[in-house]
Amino acid sequence: MSEYQWPNPATRPLLGKKISRVDGPIKSSGRAKYTYDYNPAGLLAGRILRCPYAHARITSIDTSAAEKMPGVKAVQIIQKPGTEIFWAGDEVVGVAAVDEPTAEDAIRAIKVQYEVLPHFISDAEPPKNIASSSGPISQDDFEDMEDNQVPDEQVIAAIKQNGISFHPDEKYLKDAQESGVDKKVVEALRTAKYAQATASKSPYKKTAVQTQGQPDKAFTSAAAVVEGLYGASCITHCCLETHGMAAEWPSANDSSASPGTNLLVHISTQNLSGIAPQIAEPMNIPAGSIQVMQQYVGGGFGSKFSPDRWGIAATQLSKSAGGKPVKIMLDRAAEQEVAGMRPSSFARVKIAADKDGKLVAWESRSWGTGGVGGGGTPPLPYIFEIPNQRKQNIAISTNQGSARAWRAPNHPQAAVITMSALEDLAAKMNIDPVDFLTRNLEMTGPRAAIYRDELPIAAEMMEWKKSWHPRGDKAAGLVKRGLGLSIHTWGGRGHNSDCDLTIHPDGSVEIKMATQDLGTGCRTIIIIVAADTLGIPMDQVKLLIGDSRYPVSGGSGGSTTSGGVTSSTRRAAVDACNQLFAKVAPALNAKPEGLEAVNATVRVKSDPSRSLSWKEACAKLGAMPMTVRGKNPDKSKPPDLTNSGVGGVQMADVSVDTETGIIRVNKMVAVQDCGLVVDVKTAESQVKGALIMGISYALYEEKILDPVTGRMLNPNMEFYRLAGIADVGELQVHMMTGKGYDERGVIGLAEPPVVSPGAAISNAVANAIGVRVPFLPLTPARVLEAMGSHG
Piece of the chain touching another protein by CB under 8 A; list 98-106, 582-590, 620-628, 632-640 = 98-106
Contacts with another protein, 715-734, as mask; x by CB under 8 A: xxxx---xxxxx-x--x---
Interface map 535-574 toward another protein (x if CB under 8 A): ----------------------------------------
Taking the complex as a whole, the smallest distance from the CB of residue 768 to another protein amounts, in Å, to 21
SS3 content of the chain, % helix, strand, coil (to 5): 35, 25, 40
Q: Is 451 in the site for another protein (CB under 8 A)?
A: no
Query: Of these, 691, 705, 771, 783, which contacts another protein (CB under 8 A)?
Result: 691
Beta bridge partners of 650: 486, 670
Give residues 173-192 in contact with another protein (rule: CB under 8 A): none
Rounded CA separation 306/271 (Å): 7
Report the nearest approach of another protein to the CB of residue 408 (Å).
Answer: 15
23: contact with another protein by CB under 8 A: yes
d(CA 96, CA 372): 30
Only segment of 31-39, 161-169, 282-290, 438-446 that touches another protein (CB under 8 A):
31-39
Residue 100 lies near another protein (rule: CB under 8 A): yes
| CA–CA dist 380, 777 (Å, integer) | 20
Task: Identify the residue among 518, 527, 543, 588 touching another protein (CB under 8 A).
Answer: 518
Residue type, 452: R
Of the residues 411, 620, 711, 734, which one makes contact with another protein according to CB under 8 A? 711
Which of 624, 633, 488, 491 has its CA nearest to residue 557?
491
Residues in region 278-307 near another protein by CB under 8 A: 296-299, 301
Closest distance to another protein from the beta carbon of 337 (Å): 7
Smallest CA-to-CA distance from 268 within 458, 32, 527, 553 is with 32
- Sort strands 111-116 and 290-293 into parallel, antiparallel or unpaired: unpaired
CA distance 737 to 73: 57
* Residue 240 binds to another protein (criterion: CB under 8 A): yes
Task: Name the minimum Å distance from CB 48 to another protein.
Answer: 11
**Which residue's CB is nearer to another protein, number 447 or number 703?**
703
- In this structure, the strands spanning 204-206 and 72-77 are unpaired
Which lies closer to another protein via its Cβ, residue 121 or residue 693? 693
* Residue 193 interacts with another protein (CB under 8 A): yes or no: no
Quick one: which H or E segment has residue 96?
strand 91-97
707 binds another protein (CB under 8 A): no
d(CA 251, CA 263): 10
Residue 220 in the binding site for another protein (CB under 8 A): no
Alpha-carbon dihedral angle through residues 722, 728, 734, 736, given to the nearest 10 degrees: -20
500, with CB counted inside 10 A (0-12, 13-18, 19+), is: middle
> Please, which residue, 361 or 735, has the CB nearer to another protein?
735
8 A C-beta contact, residue 326 and residue 318: yes
At residue 85, φ and ψ (nearest 5 deg) are: -105, 135
Min dist CB 760 to another protein, Å, is: 15
User: Which one of residues 688, 737, 743, 780 is an interface residue with another protein (CB under 8 A)?
Assistant: 688
* Burial classification of residue 685, based on how many CB atoms lie within 10 Å of its CB (0-12 exposed, 13-18 middle, 19 or more buried): middle
**Number of residues in contact with another protein under rule CB under 8 A:** 69
Which pairs from 139-144 meet CB under 8 Å and 24+ separation?
Answer: 139/164, 139/165, 139/166, 139/168, 140/373, 141/205, 142/166, 142/189, 144/205, 144/373, 144/374, 144/395
Q: How many CA atoms lie within 13 A of 303 on its CB side?
A: 28
Closest contact distance (angstroms) between CB of 655 and another protein is 15
Binding pattern for the stretch 42-71 against another protein, x by CB under 8 A and - elsewhere = -------xx-x-------------------
Q: Give CA–CA dist 45/327, Å, rounded.
A: 5
Among 3, 9, 11, 24, binds another protein (CB under 8 A): 24
Least distance from C-beta 784 to another protein, angstroms? 24
Residues that bind another protein (CB under 8 A): 20-21, 23-25, 27-34, 36-37, 39, 49-50, 52, 89, 99-101, 104-105, 107-108, 238-242, 296-299, 301, 331-333, 337, 518-520, 681-682, 684-686, 688-693, 696, 711-712, 715-718, 722-726, 728, 731
